Copies of this chain bind each other. A is one copy, B any other.
Amino acid sequence: MTKIRLVVVDDHELVRKGILSFLLTEPDIEVVGEGKSGAEAIQLAKKHTPDVVLMDLLMENGNGIEATKVIVDTGLNSRVVILTSYYDEKEVIPALEAGAFSFLLKTSSAAEVVTAIRKAAKGESVIEPKVTNVMVKRLRHHEKKLHDTLTEREMDVLQCISEGMTNAEISEDLFIGIKTVKTHVSNILSKLSVADRTQAAVYANRNSISKPKKD
């Protein structure tokens, strides 16, 4: 029986070494590469075509989601197992959409991680209960996010509102009339089911809708 070929990617040396020290005692798993960024993950995956890539999501240089997407899309038969610190909704869903095969939290025991690696090699997915909760919640509550129905222009206006701008300021910023701004605002309030611009601003902030800085 051939060993499971594994690449470990995490920008925290401590975590990487911790994982490695565990895997040393597992005879059926061989670590063929070790990286500390999304870019390195991609290189290592292409070079070694491992069975499994164990990847952190939040890394300093190039995040794990992009790397996951690339690794999955390039058709290497590598399965990406995400091992991350927090179950942040903003990260979990995109990671799974990017093609992550399993999803673990660092609160998992070492044994669970090892099991997940073996299962991934066999084609079985392992998703943390906390993560599935987030998924279910998303499917139940916000199958489509409210602001997905906003038009481009309405998004522009909402971004301005989220900065605390007045209608007059928005009209100057977007080079349109105040009346037009008011129309957009009314439509936004209606689509987001909120009563006034303040609530719209709160919504925008909570959903990480912010104005991109112009150069």
Q: How far is the CB of A61 from chain B (nearest CB, A)?
A: 11
In the bound complex, how far is the Cα of B85 from the Cα of A22, in angstroms?
21
Residues of B within 8 A of A197 (CB): 198
In the bound complex, how far is the Cα of B60 from the Cα of A110, in angstroms?
17
Residue A177 is within 8 A (CB to CB) of chain B in the complex: no
Task: Encode A139-159 as 1/0 by CB contact (under 8 A) with B.
Answer: 000000000000000000000
A194 and B14 in contact (CB under 8 A), knowing A202-B201, A205-B205?
Answer: no
Residue A19 is within 8 A (CB to CB) of chain B in the complex: yes
Task: Encode A64-105 as 1/0 by CB contact (under 8 A) with B.
Answer: 000000000000000000000110000000000000000000
- Tell me whether A22 and B12 are in contact (CB under 8 A): no
Q: How far is the CB of A60 from chain B (nearest CB, A)?
A: 6
Task: Encode A12-52 as 1/0 by CB contact (under 8 A) with B.
Answer: 11111111011000000000000000000000000000000
In the bound complex, how far is the Cα of B201 from the Cα of A162, in angstroms?
9
Q: How far is the CB of A198 from chain B (nearest CB, A)?
A: 5
- Tell me whether A107 and B11 are in contact (CB under 8 A): yes
Q: How many residues of A contact B (CB 8 A)?
A: 37
- Tell me whether A202 and B22 are in contact (CB under 8 A): no
- Tell me whether A14 and B110 are in contact (CB under 8 A): yes
In the bound complex, how far is the Cα of B150 from the Cα of A85, in angstroms?
35
Residues of B within 8 A of A190 (CB): none
- Tell me whether A164 and B198 are in contact (CB under 8 A): yes
Could you say which of B85, B108, B198, B205 contacts A85, with CB atoms under 8 Å apart?
B85
Q: Which 3 A-B pairs have the closest CB atoms?
A: A18-B18, A164-B199, A12-B106
A sample of 14 inter-chain contacts (CB < 8 A) reads A11-B107, A12-B85, A13-B108, A13-B109, A13-B110, A14-B15, A15-B18, A21-B21, A58-B86, A85-B85, A164-B201, A164-B202, A164-B203, A166-B195
